[in-house]
Amino acid sequence: MTLHPTRPTPRSQRLNQITHAPHEQLDKAVKANAPFATLANYARFVVAQYGFQTELKALYSDPRLAEIFADLPQRCRAEQAKADLNDLDTALPDPVAGALVDPSTAQALGWLFVSEGSKLGAAFLIKRAVALNLSDTFGARHLGEPVGGRAEGWKSFVHILDNLQLSALEESQVEQGAIDAFERFNVLLQKAYTPLPKVEVA
Q: Per DSSP, what are the bridge partners of residue 138?
A: 135
Q: What share of the chain is helix, strand, coil (3-state, %, to 5)?
A: 65, 0, 35
Dist CA 188 CA 98 (whole Å): 10
Over residues 29-78, the pLDDT tens digits come to: 999 999 999 999 999 999 999 999 999 999 999 999 999 999 999 999 99
- pLDDT score, position 1: 44
Tell me which residue of 38, 25, 33 sits closest to 194, measured CA to CA: 33
Pairwise CA distance, residues 198 & 50, whole Å? 24
Q: Are 45 and 26 a contacting pair, CB within 8 Å?
A: no
- Which 3 state secondary structure label does DSSP give 116? helix
Query: Are 120 and 158 contacting, i.e. CB atoms less than 8 angstroms apart?
Result: no
* Identity at 1, one-letter amino acid code: M
Q: Which fold has domain 28-190?
A: Heme Oxygenase; Chain A (1.20.910)
**Domain locations in the chain?**
28-190
Cα 154 to Cα 25, 51, 74, 119, 165, distances in angstroms: 23, 22, 13, 8, 19
- Going residue by residue through the chain, which has 202 residues, state the pLDDT in tens, using 9 for 90 and above: 444 455 689 999 999 999 999 999 999 999 999 999 999 999 999 999 999 999 999 999 999 999 999 999 999 999 999 999 999 999 999 999 999 999 999 999 999 999 999 999 999 999 999 999 999 999 999 999 998 899 999 999 999 999 999 999 999 999 999 999 999 999 999 999 997 555 454 4
d(CA 103, CA 174): 10
141, burial (CB in 10 Å: exposed 0-12, middle 13-18, buried 19+): buried
What pLDDT is stored for residue 8 in this prediction? 81
**Spatial separation of the C-alpha atoms in residues 147 and 122, rounded to whole Å:** 14
Per-position DSSP letters for 127-194, written without gaps between them? HHHHTTT-BTTBB-GGGSPPTT-HHHHHHHHHHHHHT----HHHHHHHHHHHHHHHHHHHHHHHHHTS
